[in-house]
Amino acid sequence: MRMKLSLAIVALPLPLLVAGCTTVGPDYQAPEVAAASGWLEPANAGTVDPAWWSQFGDPLLVSLVERALAASPDLAPDLAEAEARLAVQIGRASCRERV
């Protein structure tokens, strides 16, 4: 009985809260917002500097990114291992009987 009561206390106001958040009124009109002309187009549509974090001029950020890049594992060995496993599976499949 106690669980039903607590469920009712939580469940009854929920539809009212949801309905209250979705209704804004029949005469509501969204305000027009004027954006600056520089915000509409990207400032530099060219290539991005691979070391873009250095543009902030923060030596701590630069050192942290360099440490992270130095410590990050390279995907080349994993890719080579996956290709080797695939070659083994293809080799095994070619030895099986074909129906």
Please give the model's pTM, rounded to 2 decimal places.
Answer: 0.34
Q: In total, how many domains does the chain have?
A: 1
> Does the residue 28 lie in any domain?
no
> Does the residue 87 lie in any domain?
yes
> Does the residue 27 lie in any domain?
no
21-28 long-range contacts (CB < 8 A, ≥24 apart) are none
> Does the residue 61 lie in any domain?
yes
Host domain of residue 99:
55-99
d(CA 72, CA 16): 50
CA-based end-to-end distance of the chain: 65
> Does the residue 59 lie in any domain?
yes
> Does the residue 34 lie in any domain?
no
Encode the chain (99 residues) as per-residue pLDDT tens digits.
666 767 767 777 777 777 666 667 778 888 888 877 666 666 666 677 778 889 899 999 999 988 988 887 787 788 888 888 988 888 887 777 766
Tokens of 2: 């106690």
